[in-house]
Every structure is written in C-alpha cells, then in structure tokens.
Amino acid sequence: MIALAATIGETDFEVNDGTAVASASEDAYELRLRGEHFWESELGVYFSGTYTSADEIGGSGTSLDDASAFLALSYRATMGDTFRMPVRFGPFFLTSDQDGAAVGGPSTVTISRDLVGVRLSAEPEYIIFQHDQGGKLAELSAFAEITCGSGSTNVSGGGLDEDGYGFTLGWEIGARYKFASGLLAGLSFLSHKTNFGTTESYNSGVFFGTDEDFTGVCITAGARF
C-alpha cells in the first residue's frame, strides 16, 4: 500500500509558563505520505512522513511548521475476510519550528523543537463489503487508528539549547474504497497532539512546556497491492 493524503484543519498552540497558559489557534494544513508492505507471514514494514503548517498563529510574521517520520515493523492480525488490524512499532522523529517567537526581548527568534522516540499504532479495519470484478476485488471498509509515542526532546533558540521529554497522541477514523484496479480513495477525520515538556535548566535557561493540537478532515488517494 502507498498513499498520499491532504488534511485541512486547525492548529491550537499553547505555552504553559507555570502561572498562565497562552494559546493561539489558526487554520492549518497537513500533507502525509504512507507506505506499507506485508509478506505472507503477515509481518511487514511501514513508513509514514508528514508535514504540517500554520501561518500567523501567533500574530503577523509568525508560523508553526512541523515535519515527522515514523519507521516501523508491522504485524497484521486478521479475522476471516471481514477484519484486519495492523499493529506497528518503531522509532520516530519529529521537528517543529516556531517562527516569530518572543523570548524576553524586543526581537523575535525561531524556536526549534526536536523529539526522538518510539511510537506504537494500531489500526483496526472492518470490511463492509467486497465485490468480485473479473477476479479482482473491490471493497469498502471503515477504519480507526490510534497512535502514541514518547521520547527525549531538544529545544533551541535565542542562544539557548536545552533538553527535556515529550510525547505524541493521535487518532483517525474514516472509510476507504479500494477499486478493483487497486486504486484507493479515502475520507477521514483525524486529530493529533504533540507535547514538549518544560526543559531541564542545564544551561541556565528554560523553555516552557507546549501543547500543539491539529484537527482536520483528510482526503487520501493511493493504491493497495
């Protein structure tokens, strides 16, 4: 399977300094590329890469851009011809650039946040119906995916460079139709959160914790072999 997806939605960004929470919301979009291959043993390999962007999220001249990559080993559990559930586990990397951030001075800087860790996902899929077209199957299915991950972080900007911990959570629910030719089309609703915890003060500085939530409607096109 290989698929390209585009999502239109909204990003909510919060910074917690321990006494107050500053938040902002703005329209955003996300692009995603996925690929997965299974062998007869139901073991497989999986890759997912995403890019998410929100402009003017903290006012004029600000933006928040994320990119991530997830590489995993997969196992696909099945139940007859009506149910399948890939479970994926492996390393992931996420980087986030916040442009136009204020860090206590009159000028603004770019704050870069990186998260490296491991991620687990499960995607149960129920086949609503299948139709044989000349020996090739067309099918309609409904699916739900849940993901979680955690790891260590590095945050830098304004001359500071600090480490900490973070996590990600996400879910997606929708439907797919696979044509007899193998082409795939899907529509879904998804949401995911990235948390960067307040950093340790190793270098006489600190970056406060942030929460970034993206929610939107996703259209997918691809092929399933």
Query: Domain extents for the chain?
Result: 2-223
Q: Are 50 and 31 in contact (CB under 8 A)?
A: yes
Looking at residue 61, its pLDDT comes to: 83
Domain at 2-223: CATH code: 2.40.128.100
Placement of tokens 């900007």 in the chain:
157
- pLDDT, one tens digit per residue, over 136-152 is 999 999 999 999 999 99
What is the value of pTM for the model shown?
Answer: 0.93
CA distances from 150 to 33, 43, 57, 213 (A): 21, 24, 25, 16
> How buried is 146 (Cβ within 10 angstroms: 0-12 exposed, 13-18 middle, 19+ buried)?
middle
From 40, 38, 141, 124, select the one nearest 85 (Cα to Cα): 124
% of the chain exceeding 90 in pLDDT: 76
From 35, 9, 27, 145, select the one nearest 84 (Cα to Cα): 145
Across the chain, mean pLDDT equals 93
Q: Are 173 and 198 in contact (CB under 8 A)?
A: no
Find the DSSP H helices in 52-211: none
From 179, 185, 181, 220, select the one nearest 33 (Cα to Cα): 220
Check whether 103 has a pLDDT greater than 90: no
Residue 118 and residue 71: Cα distance in Å, rounded?
Answer: 9
